[in-house]
Amino acid sequence: MAASSGSREDATPGTLEETQVRAMFDRIAGLYDRMNTVMTAGLHHAWRRRAADLAALTAGDRALDVATGTGDLAFELSARVAPGGEVIASDFSERMLEIARAKASAGRREGAGVGLRFDSANALSLPYADDEFDAATVGFGARNFSDLDRGLQEMTRVVRPGGRVVVLEMTTPQRPPLSTFFRLWFDKAVPVLGRLAGDPEAYDYLPSSVRRFPGPSELAAVMSRAGLHEIRYILTAGGIIALHVGVVGHDRVADGVGETPPGRLA
């Protein structure tokens, strides 16, 4: 989940050029899983499980996990399309993919009898055909896209009409006590952890990248613009985590707004 970082000269804090994002994740790949576990007290696995559930996959389905990083959300998806399904997971950081592939070949949490492939690909220009997948997911990756609209349009394009697009992301809690905790933990403690782990720059900007990212209802509007319908979101972990899901419409290439106004899941 970690860092969406930015150099100190960035015009907008928490934003980076694509080449800088890729270089940063190549650099922190070896730290990434451990930092996630420390920063979330291990809860990140449960959040990915919930995201995978929202994809509503069944045995034999084909799923895509975009910006897969070290692959944990792809492993969750693979368990849901077993047996006989396929998961393609893509990222543009070769070092993150190397770790994902090593975990897969060590047999970590892969669904039995499922094809699982890790591709090098840019989420803003996916090398897949229209309608190829039953669902597409992105976990803690959308925040790093240099063009969020484009990234969500690409995910929507490659999913068949009726299939789902799921976005798991951190968000800024609005109410105490979690808003206070968020400030203390992400503004103060996480940068210190980053320093101890040996990559202060990468973990300094995590809070600003989360603050810069659209809030839950704005993200739902971006999904709607991408051609998704029936958009709903869940806030969990006291409002720190947002899970959004939308259904691909038959008119997804239209540049208009989806039929159903976005809303919060009960």
Ligand X SMILES: C[S@@+](CC[C@H](N)C(=O)[O-])C[C@H]1O[C@@H](n2cnc3c(N)ncnc32)[C@H](O)[C@@H]1O
The residue ranges that bind ligand X (CB under 6 A) are 1-2, 18, 21-22, 25, 48, 67-69, 72-73, 91-93, 96, 122-124, 139-141, 144-145
Compare residues 149 and 251 and give the one whose CB is closer to ligand X: 149
Compare residues 156 and 258 and give the one whose CB is closer to ligand X: 156
For the four alpha carbons of 265, 62, 80 and 68, in that order, the dihedral sign comes to: negative
> Minimum Å distance from CB 208 to ligand X?
14
Closest by alpha carbon to 20, among 196, 201, 186?
201
> Minimum Å distance from CB 146 to ligand X?
7
Compare residues 190 and 258 and give the one whose CB is closer to ligand X: 190
> Minimum Å distance from CB 148 to ligand X?
10
> Minimum Å distance from CB 211 to ligand X?
16
Under 8 Å between Cβ of 54 and 166? yes
Compare residues 93 and 224 and give the one whose CB is closer to ligand X: 93
Distance CA 162, CA 23 (A): 36
Distance CA 66, CA 55 (A): 13
Residue nearest to ligand X (CB): 69
DSSP 111-133: PTT-EEEEEE--TTS--S-TT-E
